[in-house]
Amino acid sequence: MARTFSKRHGAPYVIIDGCIECGICERVCPYDAIFMSDDLEYVVDGSQCPSCNRCLDPCPVDAIIPMDAPGAEAVRDSNRPFILENWQSILVDQGGNV
């Protein structure tokens, strides 16, 4: 059973071009936010990703980045349907800064 989070810490992550499909990110994500899509590519479900950073260091090719980071425009097409567009308003609503 996946954990749930009570507070978003920042922008949800996305997987960009360069991912080698090693699956490490899926194994280390405590929120089950990372999974293999129907396109057989790993994606991040933005609504499940609280920006906990658990997947960043284990990624051997640095293909996981916050969606507001430079380089996020290289997000893979398979990840686009799972992007959480309103994460900034959610963060503000819980008292965080954007």
97 within domain boundaries = no
Instruction: Give residue for tokens 């916050």.
Output: 66
Find out whether 45 and 87 touch, Cβ atoms under 8 Å.
no
pLDDT score for 97: 65
- What is the model's pTM? 0.88
The number of distinct structural domains making up the chain is: 1
- Strand intervals (E) in the chain: 13-15, 34-36, 42-44, 64-66
94 within domain boundaries = no
pLDDT score for 6: 82
Domain of 61, CATH number, reads 3.30.70.20
Q: Which parts of the chain have pLDDT scores under 50?
A: none
CA distance readout (Å), 32 to 42, 46, 69, 71, 93: 12, 11, 22, 24, 24
C-alpha count within 13 angstroms, C-beta hemisphere, residue 34: 28
Question: Which residues span the domain enclosing 66?
Answer: 13-84
| Alpha helices (runs of H) in 4-80, residue ranges in sequence order | 24-28
96 within domain boundaries = no
